[in-house]
Amino acid sequence: MNTARDIMNSIVPISRFNKGEAGKVFDEVSKEGAKIVIRNNVPTCVLLNPQEYENMLEELENYRLYAEANKRMSSPNYKTISEEEVMQRLNITNEDIDEVEVEIE
């Protein structure tokens, strides 16, 4: 959980950009994490480093996939089938699978 100090330290007034401090702000984002840019006392945007942004998008996509899987599994038409039946329906053999290289993250 963020403390009040963490939140206050994450706020960046737009005037810092107007004063030519963009490079410093970007360095702070790299070192300290996300910053909230304020213009006229209103949050205008959030600055994230690219890795944090990519991680956030990946988490969002994972959640969407999870929600879709739950929706499908809740359906009255949901039924499971065996691995053998899937392979038969898709006309895949064990030899086909052995030839494929898979990298799991």
Per-residue pLDDT, 66:
96
User: Low-confidence residues of the chain, pLDDT below 50?
Assistant: none
With b for 16 or more beta-carbon neighbours within 10 A and e for fewer, the 57-92 pattern comes to: eeeeeeeeeeeeeeeeeeeeeeeeeeeeeeeeeeee
Per-residue pLDDT, 51:
93
Give the CATH number of domain 4-48: 3.40.1620.10
3-class SS of residue 39:
strand
Per-residue pLDDT, 104:
83
Per-residue pLDDT, 5:
83
| Domain map (residue ranges) of the chain | 4-48, 52-97
